[in-house]
Amino acid sequence: MKIGTMCRIACSCPTLCRNTNFLQHRCFQPDFVPRDPKAKPKRYKYPAFYDPYGPRPPPSDKIVQLAEKIASLPPEERMQIGPALRDKVMHPVLQSISVEGIDLGSQVGARAGSSKAEEKKAEKTTFDVKLEKFDAGAKLKVIKEIRSFTDLGLKEAKDLVEKVPVILKQQITKDEANNIIEKIKAVGGVAVME
């Protein structure tokens, strides 16, 4: 009987089989209730903000009394509550994380930042040599001098000199940097160590 009904519906509505599965037709769904055409749409009341945990019950009187006792303690005793409670309930001690080498930006005070900068300057072992400027007449001499301590060709050295200020050599020792600076100064250029 049902198979015959399905065949009749499928034959009578060819668009039904083409667009949707014919078993999705509403007469085959037992819980389908047609909507009242005169009914007004339902208006749902949404909360002002979403709280995933729902409303929380108020704390018990015991908790309120405990909070009042803790608030009335002097600061020295309040500081002892955390370690004592951690030992009592056997929570593990959280290890501090080293932030050495991590840029914390504006989170660290200016004083701490300046002390770290001083430490970094003291620890610096490699330097960069930067060509600041040179005399226009000494351009060829500067190019030749740059070629002597780098492995650049003539065109690369010329392009490098024309991009002043530019870093000539990176990650070299202080002695090498001073030697290069003196050579460039001798031919009419100005170089600095960074």
Q: What is the mean pLDDT of the chain?
A: 78
- Dihedral angle, C-alpha 159, 162, 166, 167, nearest 10 °: 40
Which domains can be identified in the chain, with CATH numbers? Answer: 127-193 (3.30.1390.10)
**Cis status, amide bond into 165, omega within 30 of 0:** yes
Query: What's the predicted TM-score (pTM) here?
Result: 0.38
pLDDT tens across 1-54, in order? 567 776 676 666 555 555 556 566 666 666 767 778 888 888 877 777 777 777
Give buried/exposed letters for 70-87 (b at 16+ CB in 10 A, else e). Answer: eeeeeeeeeeeeeeeeee
